[in-house]
Amino acid sequence: MNVSIKNHIMNNFKGASKNDIKESIISSFNDKDEITLPGLGVFFGIVWNKSSDEEQNRILDILKDSLN
């Protein structure tokens, strides 16, 4: 059986409200449950791919600053 985690996550959130998505992200961090990491990775990939070069550089700045 070949299951695409990305497709599964995207299908689970089709039609979700902004609040549903926000609550999912917040609970992912509050629960400290690593099982949610693939979902956050899918969300990040969507944001990254839809971002302009300027927005991607801003994301990289935030990440770099946060890791230092």
pLDDT tens column, 27-36: 988 887 788 8
CA distance 43 to 2: 21
Residue 2 has pLDDT above 70, yes or no: no
Considering the domain boundaries, does residue 61 fall inside one? Answer: yes
Considering the domain boundaries, does residue 13 fall inside one? Answer: no
Considering the domain boundaries, does residue 54 fall inside one? Answer: yes
pTM over 0.75: yes
Considering the domain boundaries, does residue 5 fall inside one? Answer: no
pLDDT of residue 1: 57
Structural domain count, the chain: 1
pLDDT tens column, 8-23: 999 999 999 999 999 9
Contact between 4 and 40 under an 8 Å Cβ cutoff? The reply is: no
What residues make up the domain containing 62? 41-68
pLDDT of residue 65: 97
Considering the domain boundaries, does residue 66 fall inside one? Answer: yes
Q: What is the mean pLDDT of the chain?
A: 92
Considering the domain boundaries, does residue 21 fall inside one? Answer: no
Instruction: Go through 25-62 and write b for each residue having 16 or more CB atoms within 10 A of its CB, e for each that does not.
Output: eeebeeeeeeebeebeebbeeeeeeeeeeeeeeeeeee
